[in-house]
Amino acid sequence: MPTPADVPAEHWLRQPGAIAGFAPSEGFYCTSLRVPAPGVPGLEGTGGWWPSLAEPPSMERLHARPVFCGNPLLFPFPMGISDSTLRYRGRDYPLRPTRERRVVHGVVRDHPWTVERTWTDGDGDHLHASITNAGNETMLGQYPFPFRFTATQTLRGATLTMEVEAENLHDAPIPVAMGIHPYVPFPMVAGGSWEDCAVWSDVTHQVETAGENEGQLTPVAGIADLRQSPRVVDLLAAVAHRLPNGGMMYNYANPPGDDRGVRWSITDTRHNLSLKVETSSDFRSVVLWAPREPTVCVSPVICTIVPNGFNLAAAGQDTGMVDLEPGQTWRTWCRITAVAGAAGAALCLGPVPPPPARPRQIGRTAGQGSSRWPAPSQ
């Protein structure tokens, strides 16, 4: 497929069955992930290629307010921090709001990255970039500990793998966590139906995010059990758009010690289109979110830490927070696959086979483990 002229992207990765666009100047957003979907109505304007991520209408819009589109990387903390104050090792660190006017989703998505290398080999098409807050007073006001964060985005077939690496540049330990936030168009294809979209995940518990029981886990049940592949419209109806910050927000987390990682998917059952996410064992939580009406997208926040995990860790809870020692490096990975066709779409609605066996990623102990990821499951 030729490079889409209507998609804001500064770099493109290409494979015979997929293309992916990126904007390193805007938080290293993945702004597009398209795969061919022959015979699916509503794709005439894209030449029969399905935009599996909601795409920003312009670079100007992306720079102005990069929400409801693409897939950003969230570091050094995904989701919000309560009272805009980071509590760590007995100290309180007030944090400046980001351009969302609140403390949410870290800092690297809001600042330009430096592209260091692009290359193609037998493992796919690759784009490697980095960002640091060292010496940047604005970024240090949003997170007070210096770090260097790098990401390699690799497109292999229809799978986009993100391998990230965080290095502590401080002279003392720092808390870190990471997440992704893919925005899926809703409905999933132009002219499609909301009623045809179903969500699946293997997360086993919901997590309380407020009050005296914040951080408490309870087994999933009823409509909130994503293992039963509920329709998005039913999930929306169950909360009746009562939430002040979204039309839908379901908070999930696997318990401490569960090292399966996270697997999540959304499927258009009529058109056999799916977007699925698989992660390393470092990932624990999913916040399934959608904006208030009109609900134009569905977006999970898939993270290595539970909501408000830094401050809950300060209160003694095991939240998935990583204590990164001076000079140490933490690595982890996740991947997104766009699937078109009945066989793949059906797979996304049931138990997804686990990733192949691999060395444990660095997780909470830096300096060990493999920096390579397993091949995408087909």
pLDDT confidence of residue 291: 87
Inside any domain, residue 356: no
pLDDT confidence of residue 59: 86
* Number of compact structural domains in the chain: 1
pLDDT confidence of residue 359: 33
> By residue range, what is the domain housing residue 64?
11-348
Inside any domain, residue 182: yes
Residue 350 phi/psi, 5-degree rounding, is -130, -170
pLDDT confidence of residue 65: 77
Inside any domain, residue 378: no
pLDDT confidence of residue 98: 84
How far is CA 129 from each of CA 22, 116, 120, 152, 264, rounded to the nearest angstrom?
11, 5, 15, 7, 26
Q: Quickly list H helices, the chain.
A: 59-64, 137-142, 232-239, 309-314, 342-348
Inside any domain, residue 1: no
pLDDT confidence of residue 351: 55
pLDDT confidence of residue 224: 96
pLDDT confidence of residue 69: 92
pLDDT confidence of residue 244: 55
Inside any domain, residue 365: no
Inside any domain, residue 366: no
pLDDT confidence of residue 358: 36
Inside any domain, residue 300: yes
- Per-block average pLDDT, block size 10, for the chain (378 residues)? 80 96 96 95 91 92 84 95 94 90 89 97 97 97 97 97 98 97 95 94 96 95 96 89 70 96 96 96 96 86 96 96 97 97 72 40 35 40
Inside any domain, residue 104: yes
Q: What is the CATH number of the domain that holds 335?
A: 2.70.98.10
- Residue 343 tokens read as 């066989």
